Protein backbone atom coordinates (compact mmCIF):
# COMPACT_ATOMS: atom_id res chain seq x y z
CA UNK A 1 0.00 0.00 0.00
CA UNK A 2 1.40 3.41 -1.00
CA UNK A 3 0.90 6.60 0.92
CA UNK A 4 1.29 10.08 -0.50
CA UNK A 5 3.12 12.94 1.13
CA UNK A 6 1.33 14.98 3.73
CA UNK A 7 1.69 18.69 3.18
CA UNK A 8 0.98 20.98 6.11
CA UNK A 9 0.20 24.54 5.13
CA UNK A 10 0.30 27.65 7.33
CA UNK A 11 -3.51 27.83 7.05
CA UNK A 12 -3.84 24.32 8.49
CA UNK A 13 -1.61 25.26 11.42
CA UNK A 14 -3.59 28.47 12.04
CA UNK A 15 -6.84 26.50 12.03
CA UNK A 16 -5.53 23.98 14.55
CA UNK A 17 -4.16 26.70 16.82
CA UNK A 18 -7.27 28.90 16.68
CA UNK A 19 -9.46 25.94 17.59
CA UNK A 20 -7.81 25.82 20.97
CA UNK A 21 -7.99 29.53 21.82
CA UNK A 22 -9.49 28.87 25.23
CA UNK A 23 -7.93 25.50 25.82
CA UNK A 24 -5.71 27.16 28.39
CA UNK A 25 -3.67 28.63 25.55
CA UNK A 26 -0.90 31.15 25.86
CA UNK A 27 -1.46 34.79 25.01
CA UNK A 28 0.29 37.88 26.21
CA UNK A 29 -1.48 39.40 29.19
CA UNK A 30 -4.14 41.85 28.05
CA UNK A 31 -4.08 40.70 24.44
CA UNK A 32 -7.50 38.98 24.41
CA UNK A 33 -9.19 40.38 27.54
CA UNK A 34 -9.49 44.03 28.55
CA UNK A 35 -11.39 46.51 30.64
CA UNK A 36 -13.03 48.65 27.96
CA UNK A 37 -14.14 51.33 30.41
CA UNK A 38 -12.92 53.12 32.41
CA UNK A 39 -9.54 53.71 30.83
CA UNK A 40 -6.29 53.26 32.75
CA UNK A 41 -5.57 56.26 35.02
CA UNK A 42 -9.17 57.54 34.72
CA UNK A 43 -10.62 59.78 37.40
CA UNK A 44 -14.14 58.55 38.21
CA UNK A 45 -17.00 59.28 40.58
CA UNK A 46 -18.33 56.39 42.64
CA UNK A 47 -20.41 54.50 41.71
CA UNK A 48 -19.00 53.98 38.20
CA UNK A 49 -19.56 51.50 35.38
CA UNK A 50 -16.92 48.94 34.39
CA UNK A 51 -17.31 47.44 30.91
CA UNK A 52 -15.61 44.13 30.08
CA UNK A 53 -14.15 43.26 26.67
CA UNK A 54 -13.12 39.89 25.26
CA UNK A 55 -14.18 39.93 21.60
CA UNK A 56 -12.68 36.54 20.79
CA UNK A 57 -14.20 34.77 23.79
CA UNK A 58 -17.69 33.23 23.83
CA UNK A 59 -19.27 34.43 27.06
CA UNK A 60 -21.53 31.88 28.81
CA UNK A 61 -22.86 31.53 32.35
CA UNK A 62 -20.80 29.57 34.86
CA UNK A 63 -21.82 25.92 35.02
CA UNK A 64 -22.55 25.82 31.29
CA UNK A 65 -20.04 23.50 29.66
CA UNK A 66 -19.71 25.08 26.21
CA UNK A 67 -16.58 24.51 24.18
CA UNK A 68 -14.31 27.57 24.10
CA UNK A 69 -16.47 29.67 26.40
CA UNK A 70 -16.09 31.37 29.75
CA UNK A 71 -17.30 34.13 32.05
CA UNK A 72 -15.68 37.12 33.73
CA UNK A 73 -14.12 37.62 37.15
CA UNK A 74 -13.00 41.09 38.26
CA UNK A 75 -10.11 41.51 40.68
CA UNK A 76 -10.23 44.73 42.74
CA UNK A 77 -7.17 46.06 44.59
CA UNK A 78 -5.27 42.78 44.62
CA UNK A 79 -2.11 41.36 43.07
CA UNK A 80 -3.17 37.78 43.73
CA UNK A 81 -4.05 35.86 40.57
CA UNK A 82 -5.61 32.51 41.49
CA UNK A 83 -3.86 29.29 40.51
CA UNK A 84 -4.97 27.33 37.45
CA UNK A 85 -5.76 24.14 39.36
CA UNK A 86 -8.60 25.29 41.60
CA UNK A 87 -11.81 27.33 41.30
CA UNK A 88 -11.57 31.03 42.10
CA UNK A 89 -13.41 31.96 45.28
CA UNK A 90 -15.55 35.09 45.41
CA UNK A 91 -14.67 37.82 47.93
CA UNK A 92 -14.81 41.59 48.27
CA UNK A 93 -11.65 41.75 46.12
CA UNK A 94 -12.72 39.04 43.68
CA UNK A 95 -16.07 39.55 41.98
CA UNK A 96 -17.66 36.78 39.90
CA UNK A 97 -19.99 37.43 36.98
CA UNK A 98 -21.42 33.93 36.77
CA UNK A 99 -24.50 34.85 34.73
CA UNK A 100 -22.34 35.99 31.81
CA UNK A 101 -22.52 39.71 32.59
CA UNK A 102 -20.37 41.99 30.45
CA UNK A 103 -20.39 45.01 32.76
CA UNK A 104 -20.93 46.04 36.36
CA UNK A 105 -21.25 49.12 38.52
CA UNK A 106 -18.66 49.48 41.28
CA UNK A 107 -18.88 51.57 44.39
CA UNK A 108 -15.39 52.20 45.76
CA UNK A 109 -14.00 54.53 48.39
CA UNK A 110 -12.18 57.70 47.31
CA UNK A 111 -8.57 57.19 46.26
CA UNK A 112 -6.50 54.91 44.03
CA UNK A 113 -7.80 51.47 43.06
CA UNK A 114 -6.66 48.72 40.67
CA UNK A 115 -8.87 46.54 38.46
CA UNK A 116 -7.99 43.39 36.53
CA UNK A 117 -10.28 41.14 34.49
CA UNK A 118 -9.98 37.35 34.21
CA UNK A 119 -11.90 34.84 32.05
CA UNK A 120 -12.80 31.57 33.78
CA UNK A 121 -14.38 28.31 32.63
CA UNK A 122 -17.68 26.77 33.76
CA UNK A 123 -16.08 25.67 37.05
CA UNK A 124 -14.54 29.11 37.84
CA UNK A 125 -11.00 27.99 36.93
CA UNK A 126 -9.31 30.70 34.92
CA UNK A 127 -7.74 30.27 31.52
CA UNK A 128 -3.99 30.81 31.47
CA UNK A 129 -3.18 34.29 30.18
CA UNK A 130 -6.80 35.22 29.50
CA UNK A 131 -6.15 37.95 32.01
CA UNK A 132 -6.30 41.67 31.28
CA UNK A 133 -3.62 44.17 32.02
CA UNK A 134 -4.18 45.75 35.41
CA UNK A 135 -5.56 49.28 35.29
CA UNK A 136 -5.59 52.01 37.92
CA UNK A 137 -8.55 54.31 38.55
CA UNK A 138 -8.79 57.27 40.88
CA UNK A 139 -12.10 57.74 42.66
CA UNK A 140 -12.88 61.39 43.43
CA UNK A 141 -13.36 62.47 47.04
If you average pLDDT over residues 132-137, what whole number do you get?
95
Nearest to 126 by CA among 12, 17, 22: 22
Exposure letters 27-58 (e unless 16+ CB within 10 A, then b): eeebebbbbeebeeeeebeeebebebbbeebe
pLDDT for position 4 = 54
0.75 exceeded by pTM: no
Domains in the chain, CATH or no CATH each: 10-139 (2.60.40.10)
Q: What is the DSSP letter of 35?
A: E
When the pLDDT of each residue in the chain is averaged and rounded to a whole number, the result is: 77
Q: What is the pLDDT of residues 89-128, one digit of tens each?
A: 778 898 988 888 999 999 999 999 999 998 877 665 666 6
| Residues 6+ positions from 22 with CB-CB distance below 8 Å | 57, 68, 69, 70, 119, 121, 127, 130
Amino acid sequence: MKYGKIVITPMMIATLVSGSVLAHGSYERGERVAIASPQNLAVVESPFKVIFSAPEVKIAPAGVDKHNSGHFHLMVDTDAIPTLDEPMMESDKHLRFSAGERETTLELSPGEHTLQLIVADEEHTHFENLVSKKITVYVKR
